[in-house]
Amino acid sequence: MDNSTQVFYKSTRDSNKKVQASQAILQGLSEDGGLFVPDHIPTLDKSLRELSEMEYKEVAYEVMKLFLTDFTKEELTDCIQKAYDSKFDTNVIAPITEAEGAYYLELFHGATIAFKDMALSILPHLMITSAKKNNAKEQIVILTATSGDTGKAALAGFAGVKGAKIIVFYPKNGVSPIQEKQMVTQKGDNAYVIGIHGNFDDAQTGVKKLFADKELEKWMKERGLRFSSANSINIGRLVPQVVYYVYSYARLLKEGRISDGEEINVVVPTGNFGNILAAFYARNMGAPIAKLICASNENKVLYDFFCTGNYDRNREFVLTSSPSMDILISSNLERLIYRIAGEDSEKNSEFMTQLSEKGSYKITEEMRDKLKDFYGNYASEQETAQRIKELYEDTGYVIDTHTAVASAVYQKYKKETGDERKTVIVSTASPFKFSRSVMNAIDKKYDSMTDFELVDELSKIANVKVPNAIEEIRTAPVLHDTVCDKSEMKAVVEKILG
């Protein structure tokens, strides 16, 4: 590989730090607390027309090879083959369903029926390959905070993987019953699941602290262990997410739904800002995306940020029916801030210090000018439920609560702007994962049913088979029941690993 096409990864908080992709994947977070970002976004070297003739795995290779430039062709192909196989219930991997003239990109056909599978089915392989490439002798300990979906997808990806252990922290009262059941029934003697008294931000902040804990790092090293992260702060999660934006464009082109070069919009239900950042990267690679529409639920920090340039997490945390988006600190936004600050790590660090010290920061007008491709809005709980009901009644198509937030925001966007461009709405979870909220939205009469009665009823009204991921947990025994305070996370980790 010649140097000009190599991509290196820089830390958003230290301009002197520069590593290869495999090192960034292995480390997860930079030692200075910064996130790794590519030093430039590579341009697609195949035309969209050529890509439209390829299947998912081939497109994955064409996109990922440009970012993971220290992986050999064999290494990357091997990872891709192991990831996108029969764990997915369709060969297409990410099918598109048209409803009311919009294209729903269904990213929930993997093992745990949420979009996290798109990246977490490949991350373990990227990580093990990265460890080999760097002669890392220590055993990898994946430490992850989850708002519900990352946890199970990471567990499914890493359970049983040799040379790795996985510890997942989730907010005890902040995930859906199905999400919780999926996690606490996880098999595998290298997998640990812990509920915490607190919300997702508490879990995420706690995990970040453990990563930065030098004493703990030393303690780990003495035992032949090292931490890595499966959260979307890991570049090994972000890069695989770029793939489906390129792929969906190519599919629409192949199916004659758009013409070559025609610009489309994408709507992304957003929490930690990973998924929409991947769309932004796809756009910068050359995918003709016009607007990046960022959809929030009632935790609308991002909406306010796009309106005012002020990021302010000082507000009440709301538990909503779209728990995977109940987030007030969107970690991946730092990557965008860094970029619009002119890749100035000092300036970025100042903002992030303000965020951790007083919970807010305000970007400059000059920086705001660089956000013109983004549009932010939000949907209330009522609007979200209304959207599920309406779409179902008009088309028979049932969407989950997160996707409904996106769909409702898209309606607002269209009304406000009159923009009629073709639009991809990213569908991030199967409605089966949030069956109670979904069924309640359609008709209150369902509320008296048990979780699994609801699943069967949903299957009937949507005319969709109950996914395997749900069948599996119907009768599965609970294997994890540890719950701790957020102040006890370190002690719990030491107990597991000691």
Q: Which residues bind ligand PLP (CB under 6 A)?
A: 114-116, 149, 232, 269-275, 324-325, 402, 428-429
Question: Closest distance between ligand PLP and the C-beta of residue 286, in Å?
Answer: 22
Q: Which is nearer to ligand PLP, 96 or 425 (CB)?
A: 425
Contact criterion met (CB below 8 Å) for 426 and 95: no
Q: Distance between alpha carbon 316 and the CA centroid of its chain, in Å?
A: 23
Q: Which of 46, 65, 116, 133 is catalytic?
A: 116
Residue 47 CB contacts under 8 Å (≥ 6 apart), including other chains: none
Q: Which is nearer to ligand PLP, 232 or 384 (CB)?
A: 232
Contact criterion met (CB below 8 Å) for 402 and 325: yes
- Residue at token pair 């945390």: 317
Nearest residue to 320 via CA among 452, 437, 170, 152 = 437
Question: Closest distance between ligand PLP and the C-beta of residue 179, in Å?
Answer: 9
Q: Which is nearer to ligand PLP, 185 or 270 (CB)?
A: 270
Q: DSSP code of 429?
A: B
Q: Which is nearer to ligand PLP, 133 or 335 (CB)?
A: 335
Burial pattern 424-461, b for ≥16 Cβ within 10 A else e, equals bbbbbbbbbbbbbbbbbbbeeebeebeebebbebbbee
CA distances from 432 to 112, 435, 436, 455, 457 (A): 11, 5, 9, 6, 10
Which backbone phi and psi does 430 adopt, to 5 degrees? Answer: -75, 140
Question: Closest distance between ligand PLP and the C-beta of residue 470, in Å?
Answer: 15
Contact criterion met (CB below 8 Å) for 295 and 379: yes
CA distance 397 to 101: 13
Question: Closest distance between ligand PLP and the C-beta of residue 301, in Å?
Answer: 12
Q: Which is nearer to ligand PLP, 12 or 272 (CB)?
A: 272
Q: Distance between alpha carbon 312 and the CA centroid of its chain, in Å?
A: 22
Question: Closest distance between ligand PLP and the C-beta of residue 236, in Å?
Answer: 14
Residue 90 CB contacts under 8 Å (≥ 6 apart), including other chains: 109
CA distance 181 to 193: 11
Nearest residue to 441 via CA among 324, 293, 322, 326 = 322
DSSP 144-198: EE-SSHHHHHHHHHHTT-TTEEEEEEEETTSS-HHHHHHHHT---TTEEEEEEES
116 noted as active-site residue: yes
Q: Which is nearer to ligand PLP, 27 or 232 (CB)?
A: 232
Q: Which is nearer to ligand PLP, 239 or 429 (CB)?
A: 429
Question: Closest distance between ligand PLP and the C-beta of residue 325, in Å?
Answer: 5
Question: Closest distance between ligand PLP and the C-beta of residue 335, in Å?
Answer: 12
Q: What are the residue numbers of the active site? A: 116
